[in-house]
Structure 1
Amino acid sequence: MDVGTIDCGLHARFWSFNGPTGTMTRQLVLLTDGGGEADAGGQRLAIAAPALLWLGDMKPGRLRLEAGATGLRAQIGDDTLVEAIGDEAHSVALRYLVDRDFTLSLAGHAEALGVIERCLSAAIAERRQPQEASALLLSALLRIVLVSMLRVSGGRESLPGIGERMSLLQRFRQLVEMNFRNHWQVARYADALGVTPDRLHAICTDGIGKSPKALVSERLAREAMLRLERSSLTIQQLGHSLGFSDPAHFSSFFRKMTGTPPGRYRRAVIDARADHGRAVHVPSFAEWP
């Protein structure tokens, strides 16, 4: 996450982002004074202080700020965003939020404005003089910013495109985040949502193109991959932490989902880290719908 200040200038200023040769990032602009607009993917969004601009589609674009505008600007990569989102019950609502382009007026939200400004300023200080667990601190600061954004937006009900079916899909994904380690059956998810298993199946396949069972399995496999890459637990301990009482069952599940046994996957990650010419695979934010 790269963060910088927007200092008062005598002339309008311009920034381009997500060009063909650059890293794809999400853009955040906290405007404390002045105004401007962003053009991303053909969509134009105006912003007038105090306000926040979030560009989550990662499309190429340009930001223009008027003379005298002040605030802070951040470019946020996938790795930091994944850590900031986490896997709590509200993580799904945060994900719906960050995948969109929007502006949030912070007029009347002085407390939220102060929190976001302090977090971004702390991120600048940390980037200038990084210390132990710097990445963890930056993701924690970003999580506070995202939750503040969610609160100002009024939660998932105010997000664009959230109808009854989308709301049910979002609630299902929240339940998955809370219970995928408990290996709930699809019928139990449907019962918790107050719908039939057939309706839940239709909502998932229409909205995402995957069945509820596939979504739960993919979420479980994604967590297993992350833990194999980042944890020192044995394969048996790791499987048990994910709700598998039988190590053979965990190995069979992981191989079915990824095409590779868990032990071989972990060795490949270790080898990739030792060889700086090869990238270590970390499941991206987009890999679980």
Structure 2
Amino acid sequence: MRKIPNYNLYGESARPPWYDAFNFEWIVERSAPNDWHIDAHRHDALLQFLYIRGGGGQVLIENSMIDIEPPCVIMLPAQTVHGFNFAPDIDGLVITVAQRSIESLASIAAPRLVSMLQRAGVSRMSAQAVKESAFVPILELLEKEFRATNRGHMAAGMSLLIALLIHAVRLCESASAPHVASTERRAQQIKRFRELVAAYFREHRPVEFYAQKLGMTVTQLGRVCREEISSSPLAMINEHLLREAQRDLVYSNMSVKQIAHGLGFSDIAYFSRYFRKQTGVTPTQFQAEAHKALAIQ
């Protein structure tokens, strides 16, 4: 059984997936009482968006520790295992919102945004570009609406959040390599492919199976994956399977044999070869190194 705590907000019991949550707070409000450290945890139905404008620290995303270099944004979709080690001078905020709700709004107002709401990661921004954009004014309006009691303030807040996320994406894209615009159709195809992989990855289905489910040829699915996420369908399937294996190895009390069987491997030796081919180390080596790096006793 995994030991990953599941919270609504950190330190609070998880609420049902249908709970329509929207929360705005400055990082210091919750991290200072926890000595600037937030243990690894997840939110089943909530997305978290962090804007860091000063200070530093590290963020754990799944099994990777990433340095926080402001200004930057951190996207943590629902079910992403994450944790933080903030420096005492951290200056930033965290917005928590129901993943399904924000995706529904984005699918209508900004379809291209949907796929980005499903990708965990840290993205740098240009301080000058932030200063010259509408990002900060929208952020200030968003906080004002969240703390208000006027009729419709939550609806206004959600609309402002969509605008904020759009500006965040623009700022992150301008700070990195040019991004090829995605069509709504391709974004939906990738979303559906991810859902199918999550449902069937333990059955070790071939790419042909997923292409058929999507009403596409293998070639078409491959092209969509390359254009949309710069990856292949098989790489996506392996990535999902590997991520689940790593989660179990780090956060569960199960033996390697139990983990292998739970992931659809009838032969533990084959699972070990597969894992080593993907990571360069055996499951046992990965587990030991991860526990040491994350200081899990």
* TM-score, L = length of structure 1: 0.49
Q: Which has the larger radius of gyration?
A: 1
* TM-score, L = length of structure 2: 0.48
